[in-house]
Chain A
Amino acid sequence: MTPILAFLAALGRPVLALCAGVGRFSLFAFGAFWRLFAPPWHLREFWRQALRIGYFSLPVVGFTAVFTGAALALQIYMGGARFNAEQVVPSIVEIGILRELGPVLGALMVAGRVSAALAAEIGAMRVSEQIDALRTLSTDPMRYLTAPRLAAGILTMPLLILVADSLGIFGGYLVGVRRLGFQPDAYLQATIAAFQWMDVVSGLVKAAVFGAVITLMGCYHGFNAGRGAQGVGRAATNAVVGASALILATNYVLTELFFGS
């Protein structure tokens, strides 16, 4: 093989592998969504996953939101001071949290927590033949494992992000009032005045999409985990990296759809 051909082959291989990966993931996602709408549904498994993905992620998402709101308020105040525009702090904190930082940072935190756990759990189930066991018990593993997790991700993420939005704005309020000298009433009035339903709704739609991305990535990498502890570890890493990258990419697309001119 000539050096040029070898170079082109070296370029082509990862591109082809990427295309194949995207294709496999798309088929996997299609299969998972299809099973959301066609019975039988494993409701008990759904509730267990809703608790695990949604409820137990509350502390980490809340913590992230409060400090993000607080830091955002400080930054906007200092940036605004250059143009004598310190009074924009409440409204910019609100828009920033509701539209972008609440959903995106919340989703990234959940991705780290949930995608890795799902990939490791399902990967370990695969290694220990539990997925084969499901098939021999006349149970479709996609229906039993993926569909409830996907449904739980889509339905609980908006609720989580609603909490994150509130706590993020509250973090900004605390810094604004305690540290930056805003009057509590004035800060709240400015926040209410800047409020638009579209900001909340767009954030919640993003959250639902991110919920799907997080759970699908976790399940996909779990089902495709390699053998042994190393395979499971790699699946968990790939799930987090894949979910985080896809969250950021879909966030841009959704922002463009909602707010692009």
Chain B
Amino acid sequence: MAEHSSPKAAPNSPMIEWRRTDKRFGSNHVLRGIDLQVARGESCVVIGGSGTGKSVLLKTALGLLKPDGGEILIDGQRVDHLSEAARFPLMNRMGVLFQGGALFDSLRVWENVAFRKLRGAGRRALAEAKEAAVEKLRRVGLGPDAAERYPAELSGGMQKRAALARAMMADPEILFVDEPTAGLDPIMSGVINHLIREIVTESGATAVTITHDLSTLRTVADKVAMLHQGKIIWQGPVAEADTDPNPCLRQFLAGRAEGPIEAVR
């Protein structure tokens, strides 16, 4: 992975950094000065209730939403002001697993996985691209028969695996994961969580996962950050999350209706 790294960034600088990041939609102030750093090779899980702005946080780093204030740095370079075209080279260093998979319905599963290798600057011969896609699919536990199907013909869990294979296709330095277990049964959730953990460890990629699923937190995280009312109210190593007295963190991890976090949002 290290061969992609920008020569400008110091080796010990954070891979991803949100600095006083603000985002509002009309009168809804979603992110209120987010300060969060994710070190190289670290797997950071951002937790928080529904509607607290976790997805917005992720989308600001991906450039899918423009922050209203503050800065976002990736590998030491400021990226929040980049145009869409200027962002494409950066995107080649990232993989994203979307909540619903976001596989392209009109393409076969292997064509989805090989998307970057079938078009644009990274274009390869068809057979080579297909072989690479089938290999990635095999890594996430999907056989060649699934590769030939269309996404709608796969179960939710298989779609998630295929989407993970697509995200990992370019061996990204950074992996963003949005609610990996949403809509999956507990067993399939466990499978996906372990797969993400294995792949992140294997590849050495920096990962940011947003979730409200505690099983994901415990399987995937090196570091935990909790988002509440537009701010990171707690962050630290996953081992400390269980013992820290922060009342919001305690309420969230215990899944209690009573506490400082209102149940009705």
Is B96 a contact partner of A133 (Cβ separation < 8 A)?
yes
Sort chain B's interface into a size bin. 20 to 34
Known: A132-B64, A133-B96. A138 touches B102 (CB 8 A): no
> Which A residues are in CB contact (< 8 Å) with B98?
129, 132-133
User: How far does the alpha carbon of A130 sit from the alpha carbon of B63 in the complex, in Å?
Assistant: 15
How far apart are the CA atoms of A81 and B115 in the complex, in Å? 64
| Complex-state Cα separation, A144 to B107, whole angstroms | 13
| B120 within 8 Å of A (CB atoms) | yes
Across the interface, name the chain B residue whose C-beta is closest to A134. Answer: B104
CB of B119 within 8 A of CB of A40, answer: yes
Q: Nearest Cβ in chain A — how far from B265, in angstroms?
A: 18
Q: Which residues of A contact B59 (CB under 8 A)?
A: 132
Within 8 A of A (CB), among B87-124: 87-89, 91-92, 94-96, 98-100, 102-106, 115-116, 119-121
Q: Given A137-B166, A138-B120, 5 more contacts at CB 8 Å?
A: A133-B102, A133-B103, A135-B87, A138-B91, A140-B85
| Closest-CB distance, A251 to chain B (whole angstroms) | 32
Q: With A137-B91, A138-B88, A138-B91 given, is the CB distance from A132 to B102 under 8 Å? A: yes
B62 within 8 A of A: yes
| With known contacts A128-B102, A130-B102, A130-B104, A138–B116 Cβ distance under 8 A | yes
A136 within 8 Å of B (CB atoms):
yes
CA distance A139 to B120 in the complex (A): 8
Give the chain A neighbours of B85 by CB distance below 8 A.
140
The residues of A that contact B100 with a CB separation of less than 8 Å are 128-129
Task: Determine how close the nearest CB of chain B comes to the CB of A130; give it in whole angstroms.
Answer: 5
5 nearest A-B residue pairs (beta carbon): A133-B102, A138-B88, A129-B102, A136-B96, A138-B91
The reply to whether the CB of A42 lies closer than 8 angstroms to some CB of chain B is: yes
On chain A, which size bracket covers the interface?
Answer: 10 to 19
What does the 1/0 interface line of A143-165 toward B look like (CB < 8 Å)? 01000000000000000000000
The reply to whether B91 and A136 form a contact with Cβ atoms under 8 Å apart is yes
CB contacts under 8 Å to A, within B102-149, are 102-106, 115-116, 119-121
Instruction: Looking at the assembled complex, report how far the CB atom of A28 sits from the nearest CB atom of chain B, in whole angstroms.
Output: 15
Q: What are 20 A-B residue pairs whose CB atoms fall within 8 Å in the complex? A: A40-B119, A40-B120, A129-B99, A129-B102, A130-B102, A130-B103, A130-B104, A132-B98, A133-B96, A133-B98, A135-B62, A135-B87, A136-B62, A137-B115, A138-B92, A138-B121, A139-B115, A139-B119, A139-B120, A140-B85
Query: Min CB distance, B31 to chain A, in Å?
Result: 18
Q: Which of chain B's residues has its CB closest to A128's CB? A: B100
Which partner residue on chain B sits nearest A42 by CB separation? Answer: B119
| Alpha-carbon gap, A132 to B102, bound state (A) | 8
Contact A135 B63 (CB under 8 A): yes
Q: How far is the CB of B103 from chain A (nearest CB, A)?
A: 8
Return chain A residues, CB-CB under 8 Å to B120: 40, 138-139
Residues in A neighbouring B116, C-beta threshold 8 A = 137-138
A-chain residues with CB within 8 Å of residue B94 when the two chains form the complex: 136
CA distance A129 to B59 in the complex (A): 11
> A133: which B residues are within 8 A, CB to CB?
96, 98, 102-104
Q: Which residue of B lies closest to A139 (CB)?
A: B120
Does B84 reach chain A (CB closer than 8 Å)?
yes
